[in-house]
Structure 1
Amino acid sequence: MTDHHYEIAVTWTGNTGSGTSSIRSYSRNHDVGVDGLQTIAASSDPAFRGDPARWNPEQLYVAALAQCHMLWYLSLAAQAGITVTAYDDRPTGVMIEESNGAGQFERVTLRPTVTIEATSDSGLAERLHDRVADYCFIARSVKTPIDHEVTILTAADAIAG
């Protein structure tokens, strides 16, 4: 077993002069960073007094699930002899909020459209998506149900479409 450690800096930038003297007195803006990479300008969801021009944790959560799925899928496809030439996903997440303000994600749906070479097995290419959850670190670490609505295209389909 190998341990991997991740160190990230989250810095609140939303003190507008009076700190958190009231629920409305401060901005939810913050920066997410790691040495050597571009900083992510973040905030809370606009529904929670956040800045709509910045990423929010809910979007980053859905993005992390989709990224991990894609990266493992590409690896499994390569190992299985499936030649993927394009991959595009438009994932969505549904979060429920309880009356006390607490909440959780009820579901995340990944919607990858995968283009493969005509000589690749499209049935196997589709089935590989079901195997990703056995490997994806993020999916294995959360309790949110993750669905897949997969579209497999051959290179010829992509050109014709």
Structure 2
Amino acid sequence: MAQEHFYEVNITWKEGRIGELSSPVLSKTIECATPPEFPNGVPGIWSPEHLFVAAINSCYMATFLAIASNFKLPVDRFNCRTVAKLEMVEGRYLVTEAEMYPDVKLTDPEADKEKAMRVLEKAKAGCLVTNSMKTSVSMTATVN
């Protein structure tokens, strides 16, 4: 049987280039705006571009932690910095590349470093967000 899930997000325009994201199943809202690199952009507020990269990071973390649990990999810390490149391609803006920099601290790095690298790769391959976009995603991992 196929699984289907639906996620609703709403936006309400506030003023200028600023809106507020909400969902009927979430208690917090997120203010978002055009990034300051564009005309009338607003600094200091989450932009669609930041939210795109946040989707990559949050999905990758969730996928990594699920696979690490399945592999019984003891993890003390997980951080991931992701940098995405926005550029004009054939007259349209696209996020063409994203580089993920996961940093994992293990309980026992001597025993589990190879397993952690396999889990990091499996998480990259299994991340539904990156599998759903045409952006090229690469990864440079640190495990200690």
* TM-score under structure 2 length normalisation: 0.90
Secondary structure of the 2:55 match is helix
Amino acid at match of 1:4: H
Give 1:2-151 correspondences, 5 Å limit.
Answer: 2-14=3-15, 27-35=16-24, 36-48=26-38, 49-98=40-89, 100=91, 102-118=92-108, 120-151=111-142
Amino acid at match of 1:105: V
| Unaligned ranges ≥5, structure 1 | 15-26, 154-161
Q: What's the CA shift for 1:121?
A: 1.2
Which one has a larger percent strand, Structure 1 or Structure 2? 2
Q: What's the CA shift for 1:133?
A: 3.4
Moved beyond 3 Å, runs of 4+: none
Instruction: Say whether the 8 Å CA contact 1:129–1:148 is kept in structure 2.
Output: no
* TM-score under structure 1 length normalisation: 0.81
Amino acid at match of 1:29: I
- The structure that has the greater radius of gyration is 1
After superposition, the C-alpha distances for 1:99-149 in whole angstroms (9 at most, x for unaligned) are 84x210111111111011116410110122211233221111101111111
| Unaligned ranges ≥5, structure 2 | none
Secondary structure of the 1:82 match is coil
Percent identity over the alignment? 25
RMSD: 1.5
Alignment coverage as a number of residue pairs: 140
Amino acid at match of 2:31: A
